[in-house]
Structure 1
Amino acid sequence: MNVLLRDKQIEIISALCEGIGQRAVARLTDTDRKTVARLALRVGRGAAELHDRMFTGIRTNRLELDELWAFIQRKRRWHQKPGADGAVTGDQYTYVALSASSRAIVSYLTGKRSSDNTDQFIQDIRARVIGTPEISTDGYHPYKNAIRDAFGNRTAHGTITKTYSVTHLAVTEASRRYSPAEVIAVARDVVSGVPAQISTSYVERSHLTLRQSCKRFARLGNGFSKRLEPHCAAVSLYVAYYNLTRVHESLKCTPAMALGVTDRVWTIGDLIDAALATQPIAPVPTAPERRRRFSVIEGGKA
């Protein structure tokens, strides 16, 4: 079985983490596109497992929660009924929980924007975080019940709701346009407890970094994901790269270092080695035409 050299793997993953599409990476690195896709998928799976192992027992004072929109294969058509593959195609949201002090992504989840996924996302945060940090979210209603069930009524939870000026009558939601309209009002409401600050500015800014660092999230392009599994792997790869490898400009260290998860800046090679170490080695069957044909030869008598 052919295996890419480590230097070539580092070159490919580095390019993907800088927002270059798979086809462009294949051309730049002189590598087959399917090879690039297989490596990205495997490293992405390992990055998800790595995040589950490292980001536990987290202590943080405040969390900001928000969702980032993308689509798989095709956008949702309001005038069409979802097909049989509606659960894995169309609109897909990436839930992100960001630590306000360290800017680290503590938890994330990709799927439909639904009550079940919201509850699963909040339960994952509860399993990773020690104590009851302040939580700021948008006005999405399922957050309220999910946070109350996971953290109790005493947690400090506040919501922030932005109102946009709609200038085009054909657009029902101004915040979903490629160029959102001007924000004309911001409402902050206390759901429970006494939150000292209600804001989602940090996590919204991190969404911009994700769109710039992952071609699948780029606006008005053809680099969108065609299947859900590679899309989730790309998100996991970005989160590991952002937390462990990318030095934050204002913190002067990686978010994982600021959070106390690690004590050094990881290289892309370190990330690849750690991610691939979590993945089992799957046997590759030999093609039938390449298998050796054995025949029994009658031996002579001694």
Structure 2
Amino acid sequence: MNVLSMEERVRVVSALAEGTSLRATARLVDVGRQTVTNLLLTVGEGCRCLLDERMRDLHCDVMELDEIWCFIGKKEGHLRDGDPAEYGDAYTWVAIDARTKLVPVHLVGKRSSEAGHAFARELRGRVLGAPQITTDGLKIYVEAIEAAFGSRVNFAQIMKTYAKDSADGASRDDVRYSRGRVTRSVKRVVIGAPDEDKISTSYVERSNLTTRMQMRRFTRLTNAYSKRLEHLQAAAALHFAAYNFTRVHMTLRVTPAMEAGLTDHVWSMEELITEALAASDAPPPPPLPPPRPTGGTFGRRPSRAAPLPGQLSLPGTGVSL
């Protein structure tokens, strides 16, 4: 990396941030593939440090959470004994603020209870107050968010029912990687009294599309998938740092970081690289504050809150969820 000028670094990182693969970037910029990989790992680690430093004490009142799939090395169904533990399914857990479109937290890992709890704890440590949170129906979120936030959250899930494909799905390209058409969607309150009009996962689902478009390793049916976990983690950190600080949101007309008050201007890619490398060399910031639950409210809602239309109930209890 020492032999690359800043102009070359900017060209390499800009190409990676726009969804170009490692080999294609090497051809376009006329540098070695290993040089591109080394720069990705270095700048990616710097972006991780930068996000850790800047994403603190945030006012994110309405959050949407989701996880986006890819794989490392080989797909889950092709795993064999002796394969590295990091191979197979990999999920990038994402939280987005509905107002500023800021992504304050992401986590690359498995779709496991351990990863879900770590994701929720980090979110709790970075946002202030008692936010409203919406997720899909993944059960991991229920315990993870209750453990991290206690009662200081208004939490709802959107339970979706999907149509079964008449061709059994596997042989059809249009449904191979999707869950089919949504036939029913129900809002379920889990903790607190969230605003029904703000119970949605639309923004985070749109963010997932941006992720697939701007990280080549998330593009399906190619050989550009991640071969190592550290490469995926570096690429994700670069992507979300570039998204937050360098890309003007079409609706906001500023970057998410500007809308959130974290900066007063649009960062250039050169500025992002400079700040990332400086953050990597600087002493680490203090640890995030641990969760301080004030008593969970899982399984019940305040009596003053009216049930939502179509809301599900706990079997045998008459209590709305």
2:56 match:
56
Alpha-carbon distance in structure 2 between the residues aligned to 1:176 and 1:107: 30
Alpha-carbon distance in structure 2 between the residues aligned to 1:169 and 1:233: 37
Give the letter for the 2:49 counterpart.
Answer: E
Tell whether the 8 Å contact from 1:164 to 1:175 is kept in structure 2 after alignment.
Answer: no
Question: 1:140-151 counterparts in 2 under 5 A?
Answer: 140-151=138-149
CA RMSD of aligned residues (A): 2.1
Tell whether the 8 Å contact from 2:50 to 2:280 is kept in structure 1 after alignment.
Answer: no
Q: What is the DSSP-based 3-state SS (H/G/I as helix, E as strand, rest coil) of the residue aligned with 2:76?
A: coil
Q: Do residues 39 (structure 1) and 50 (structure 2) align? A: no
Deviates more, 1:112-121 or 1:161-170: 161-170
Alpha-carbon distance in structure 2 between the residues aligned to 1:175 and 1:231: 26
Alpha-carbon distance in structure 2 between the residues aligned to 1:159 and 1:253: 30
Give the letter for the 1:181 counterpart.
Answer: G
Give the letter for the 2:276 counterpart.
Answer: A
Tell whether the 8 Å contact from 1:67 to 1:95 is kept in structure 2 after alignment.
Answer: yes
1:186 match:
185
1:292 match:
none
1:233 match:
234
Aligned-pair distance for 1:12? 0.6
In structure 2, the gaps of 5 or more residues are: 283-321
2:17 match:
17
Tell whether the 8 Å contact from 1:49 to 1:275 is kept in structure 2 after alignment.
Answer: yes
Alpha-carbon distance in structure 2 between the residues aligned to 1:123 and 1:70: 23
Alpha-carbon distance in structure 2 between the residues aligned to 1:175 and 1:13: 32
Alpha-carbon distance in structure 2 between the residues aligned to 1:12 and 1:191: 45
Aligned-pair distance for 1:83? 3.5
* TM-score, normalisation: structure 1: 0.87
2:29 match:
29
1:215 match:
216
Tell whether the 8 Å contact from 1:96 to 1:203 is kept in structure 2 after alignment.
Answer: yes
Which segments of structure 1 move beyond 6 Å, counting only runs of 4 or more?
none
Give the letter for the 1:235 counterpart.
Answer: A
Aligned-pair distance for 1:113? 0.5
Alpha-carbon distance in structure 1 between the residues aligned to 2:214 and 2:228: 19
2:99 match:
101
Tell whether the 8 Å contact from 1:12 to 1:29 is kept in structure 2 after alignment.
Answer: yes
Q: What is the DSSP-based 3-state SS (H/G/I as helix, E as strand, rest coil) of the residue aligned with 1:265?
A: coil
Alpha-carbon distance in structure 1 between the residues aligned to 2:50 and 2:239: 12
Instruction: Figure out how many residues of one structure are paired with residues of the other and give that number.
Output: 278
Alpha-carbon distance in structure 1 between the residues aligned to 2:161 and 2:81: 33
Tell whether the 8 Å contact from 2:63 to 2:98 is kept in structure 1 after alignment.
Answer: yes
Alpha-carbon distance in structure 2 between the residues aligned to 1:255 and 1:275: 18
Give the letter for the 2:137 counterpart.
Answer: G
Alpha-carbon distance in structure 2 between the residues aligned to 1:94 and 1:56: 20
Aligned-pair distance for 1:179? 4.5
Tell whether the 8 Å contact from 1:96 to 1:105 is kept in structure 2 after alignment.
Answer: yes
- Deviation string for 1:153-201 (max 9, x for gaps)? 3521000122111113365xx9983354221111110101111121110
Give the letter for the 2:113 counterpart.
Answer: S
Alpha-carbon distance in structure 2 between the residues aligned to 1:98 and 1:177: 27
Aligned-pair distance for 1:85? 4.2
2:111 match:
113
Tell whether the 8 Å contact from 1:87 to 1:112 is kept in structure 2 after alignment.
Answer: no
Alpha-carbon distance in structure 1 between the residues aligned to 2:120 and 2:51: 16
Alpha-carbon distance in structure 2 between the residues aligned to 1:179 and 1:114: 20
- Deviation string for 1:34-82 (max 9, x for gaps)? 10110011000000000000000001111000000000010001xx666
Alpha-carbon distance in structure 2 between the residues aligned to 1:59 and 1:179: 34
1:88 match:
86
Alpha-carbon distance in structure 1 between the residues aligned to 2:137 and 2:177: 20
Overall identity of the aligned pairs, in %:
45
1:272 match:
273
Tell whether the 8 Å contact from 1:109 to 1:121 is kept in structure 2 after alignment.
Answer: yes
Q: What is the DSSP-based 3-state SS (H/G/I as helix, E as strand, rest coil) of the residue aligned with 1:252?
A: coil
Which protein is bigger by CA-based radius of gyration?
A: 1
Q: What is the DSSP-based 3-state SS (H/G/I as helix, E as strand, rest coil) of the residue aligned with 1:279?
A: helix
Q: What is the DSSP-based 3-state SS (H/G/I as helix, E as strand, rest coil) of the residue aligned with 1:278?
A: helix
Tell whether the 8 Å contact from 1:72 to 1:92 is kept in structure 2 after alignment.
Answer: yes
